[in-house]
């Protein structure tokens, strides 16, 4: 397993709506995440919309992203969520994720 951290920015005026959608993520999206090796996936948000994501990848960040890119439901979810993020243009959030370097871990 590889631990992955990433940052994204949710638009200030969309924060509450974004949170509401994540209280009921589509079951087929959850299945796809599990199937493509995303484990212990969590999202944390500051009041200003800065979002920190964490998950444990079976193989690697690149393999997890590639697995989701092949899932039809991911295309629909990314298109649905795109308006919630800053600086996206026509890019989906999963294409904007930049892997953060792990500098410390304590079990």
DSSP code for 59: S
Domains of the chain, earliest start first = 2-96 (3.30.70.100)
Strand partners, 38: 57
Q: Residue 15 and residue 5: Cα distance in Å, rounded?
A: 20
The answer to whether the beta carbons of residues 98 and 6 sit under 8 Å apart is: yes
Span 11-44, pLDDT tens digits: 999 999 999 999 999 999 999 999 999 999 999 9
Report the percent of the chain where pLDDT is more than 70.
Answer: 93
Q: 3-class SS at 99? A: strand
Q: Which positions are annotated as active-site residues?
A: 22
Tokens of 26: 């589509």
pLDDT band (50, 70, 90) for residue 88: low
pLDDT band (50, 70, 90) for residue 87: confident
Enter the pTM of the model. Answer: 0.86
- Residue 63 makes CB contacts below 8 A (sequence gap 6+) with 37, 57
């Amino acid at each position: 397993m590889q631990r992955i951290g990433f940052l994204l920015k949710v638009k200030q005026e969309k924060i509450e709506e974004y949170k509401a959608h994540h209280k009921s993520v589509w079951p087929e999206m959850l299945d796809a995440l599990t199937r493509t090796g995303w484990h212990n996936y969590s999202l944390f948000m500051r009041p200003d919309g800065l979002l920190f994501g964490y998950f444990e990848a079976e193989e690697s960040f690149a393999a997890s992203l590639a697995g989701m890119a092949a899932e039809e439901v991911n295309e629909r979810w990314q298109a649905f969520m795109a308006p919630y993020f800053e600086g996206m243009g026509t890019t989906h959030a999963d294409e904007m994720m930049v892997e953060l370097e792990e500098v410390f871990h304590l079990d």
